């Protein structure tokens, strides 16, 4: 984003991510967003904060991404009747984010077409807002009956199928309301928010050091992505940076997380088309990699390895060699399994044309991450805004065919294997102790941003500090916020039995967008 120029005057934030901060009055928010959209920007996140402890009212925060980086718009709102002009007509993904901001903070979007509650679910009464500073986290409320007004489809032969929120197995809770004729899906409406854990409120009671462990648990399958984004945000607010070896190790960890998740999903996709062989083979490969993770870093899912200022665990020369051996063994097996998937007529019959998302629709609704690249959108923070170690690796993301999320996932595995980030820390210098720098304690009111390309898509962590190295407000944002609405569109015209396959091809997070 340009640092100056009407209607946005923005200041560059310190840190690895190219991020700019601008304070915009509510009356100019629409103008700023319209200008940003006209220049090709897209919405990354929207959230609210309570600023009453600082002698102010409330604030709306909007994060927009463009070819120049991330623009953080901070919009001060009045204490009485905190309202702002809605932007869901400019960025459709803002709809649910605006509703969540009201449920949590009580700031209201004018002219928003949808004012149904999104997160409350009867767990706290109307007029009570958990992210206000005067809210008592220990307070308990009687559970109210929750009657969500789903949109009904009328017509001859139209039926509704309610699925969830409780599902078989270990899948997290979410409600899916199908409107169908025969087996053909006319409409799908999602109802999420059943997983709400109070994570954002919990951050407000923590120091910056304590927050690192919680950040890695926002979404268990993206622990490295969130922990790295959190560390970047803290380093941005403190004006620090990780040492080169720590940056290389973070790249190693993130690519291992990416490979493990894609291997698991490729197995699940085989399972959903009755190819149990594919499921067991890909999950065998994933399990082998998770065991290597545990031996190299002490945790199968790499939790508590990234810390503000660096990393919490080093990688020995022997462990690096074991990782490289495992990756060299996985790559040819993935190629052989790819050939089996591609040559299996029954599998291809289920995969082809199922759940397609056109490039135009993906761009309009803000589809991000791997799913966006599968729909022809060439967006990848590792390439668009590379920082160490990705700035030394290069290579544009390969464009996948329209709607081919399964093929894009295999390509992501191949690219991650070629990045082979384990080679960087192994070759950088001899093994030594944990590489965490000592960061200065930031002043109250310092802001920082972390922005990382996780395996599912871009992960954002926006930080505002309080006094004595504590957290005033922290917003972790999962890419599933943008992508869940696209699932509703991808299933249209498909048959109900294909929904599990389409759903798994996105594999979105319930808990990551339900804080």
Tens-digit pLDDT string for the chain (515 aa): 444 344 578 899 999 999 999 999 999 999 999 999 999 999 999 999 999 989 899 999 999 999 999 999 999 999 999 999 999 999 999 999 999 999 999 999 998 888 899 998 888 998 999 999 999 988 889 888 778 999 999 999 999 999 989 988 778 899 999 999 999 999 999 999 988 889 999 999 999 999 999 999 999 999 999 999 999 999 999 999 999 889 989 999 999 999 999 999 999 999 999 999 999 999 999 999 999 999 999 999 999 999 999 999 988 888 988 998 899 899 999 999 999 999 999 888 888 888 899 999 999 999 999 999 989 998 999 999 999 988 887 654 544 444 466 566 656 666 666 555 545 454 444 334 455 557 889 999 999 999 999 999 999 999 999 999 999 999 999 999 999 999 999 999 999 999 999 999 999 999 888 88
Angle at 255 between CA 506 and CA 407, to 5 degrees: 40
What is the Cα–Cα distance from 429 to 245, expressed in whole angstroms? 8
What is the Cα–Cα distance from 254 to 485, expressed in whole angstroms? 26
3-class DSSP assignment, residue 487: helix
- Spell out where 98-250 has E strands: 108-110, 158-163, 175-181, 184-191
pLDDT for the residue 167:
86
| Homologous superfamily of domain range 241-438 | Cytochrome-c3 Hydrogenase, chain B (1.10.645.10)
What is the Cα–Cα distance from 53 to 265, expressed in whole angstroms? 45
pLDDT for the residue 77:
98
Q: Is 361 exposed, middle or buried (0-12, 13-18, 19+ CB in 10 A)?
A: middle
DSSP result, 434-472: --B--PPPPPTT-EEEEEEE-SSSEEEEEEEE-GGGBEE
The CATH classification of domain 11-110, taken from the options 3.10.20.310, 3.40.50.2300, 3.90.1170.50, 3.30.460.80: 3.30.460.80
Strand partners, 175: 191
pLDDT for the residue 417:
62
3-class DSSP assignment, residue 391: helix
What is the Cα–Cα distance from 173 to 169, expressed in whole angstroms? 11
Q: Dihedral of CA 509/513/514/515: which sign?
A: positive
Tokens for 410?
């295999």
Torsions phi, psi of 334, nearest 5? Answer: -60, -40
- Residue burial 129-156, b: 16+ Cβ < 10 Å; e: rest: bbbbeebeeeeeeeeeeeeeebeebeee
pLDDT for the residue 429:
43
Q: Which residues contact 170 (CB under 8 A, 6 or more apart)?
A: none
What is the Cα–Cα distance from 218 to 200, expressed in whole angstroms? 10
What is the Cα–Cα distance from 318 to 420, expressed in whole angstroms? 16
- Fold identical between 11-110 and 241-438? no
Q: Where are the domains of the chain?
A: 11-110, 241-438
Q: Are 293 and 260 in contact (CB under 8 A)?
A: yes
């Amino acid at each position: 984003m340009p640092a100056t120029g009407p209607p946005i005057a923005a200041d560059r934030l310190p840190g690895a991510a190219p991020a700019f901060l601008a304070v915009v009055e509510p009356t100019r928010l629409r103008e700023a967003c319209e200008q940003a959209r006209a220049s090709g920007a897209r919405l990354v996140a929207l959230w609210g904060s309570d600023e009453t402890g600082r002698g102010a009212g409330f604030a709306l925060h909007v994060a927009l991404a463009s070819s120049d980086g991330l623009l953080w718009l901070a919009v001060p709102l009045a204490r009485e009747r905190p309202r702002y002009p809605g932007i869901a007509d400019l960025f459709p993904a803002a709809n649910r984010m605006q509703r969540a901001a009201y449920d949590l903070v009580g700031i209201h979007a004018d002219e928003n077409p949808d004012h149904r509650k999104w997160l409350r679910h009867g767990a706290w009464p109307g007029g009570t807002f958990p992210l206000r500073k005067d809210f008592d986290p220990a307070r308990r409320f009687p559970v109210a009956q929750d009657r969500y007004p789903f949109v009904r489809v009328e017509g001859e032969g139209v039926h509704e199928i309610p699925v969830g929120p409780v599902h078989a197995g270990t899948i997290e809770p979410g409600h899916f309301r199908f409107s169908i004729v025969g087996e053909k899906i006319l409409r799908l409406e999602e109802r999420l928010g059943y997983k709400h854990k109070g994570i954002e409120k919990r951050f407000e009671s923590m120091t910056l050091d304590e927050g690192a462990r919680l950040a890695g648990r926002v979404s268990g399958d993206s622990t490295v992505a969130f922990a790295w984004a959190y560390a970047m945000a803290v380093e941005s607010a403190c004006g620090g940076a990780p040492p080169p070896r720590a940056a290389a190790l973070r790249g190693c960890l993130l690519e291992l997380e990416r490979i493990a998740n894609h291997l698991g999903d490729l197995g699940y996709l085989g399972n959903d088309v009755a190819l149990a062989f594919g499921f067991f083979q890909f999950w065998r490969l994933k399990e082998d990699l998770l065991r290597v993770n545990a031996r190299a870093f002490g945790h199968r899912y790499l939790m508590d390895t990234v810390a503000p200022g660096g990393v919490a665990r080093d990688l020995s020369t022997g462990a690096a060699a074991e990782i490289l051996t495992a990756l060299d063994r996985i790559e040819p097996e993935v190629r052989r399994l790819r050939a089996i998937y591609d040559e299996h007529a029954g599998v291809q019959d289920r995969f082809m044309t199922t759940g397609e998302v056109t490039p135009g629709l993906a761009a309009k609704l803000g589809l991000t991450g791997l799913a966006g690249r599968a729909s022809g959108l060439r967006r990848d923070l590792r390439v668009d805004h590379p920082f160490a170690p990705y700035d030394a690796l290069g290579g544009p993301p390969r464009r996948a065919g329209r709607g081919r999320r399964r093929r894009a996932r295999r390509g992501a595995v191949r690219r991650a294997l070629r990045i082979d980030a384990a080679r960087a820390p192994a070759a950088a210098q001899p093994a030594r102790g944990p590489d965490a720098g000592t960061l200065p304690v930031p002043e109250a009111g310092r802001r920082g941003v972390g922005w990382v390309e996780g395996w599912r898509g871009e992960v954002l962590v926006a930080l505002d500090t309080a006094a004595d190295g504590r957290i005033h407000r922290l917003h972790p944002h999962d890419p599933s916020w943008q992508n869940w609405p696209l699932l509703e569109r991808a299933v249209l015209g498909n048959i109900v039995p294909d929904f599990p396959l389409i759903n798994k091809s996105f594999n979105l997070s319930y808990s990551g967008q339900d804080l």
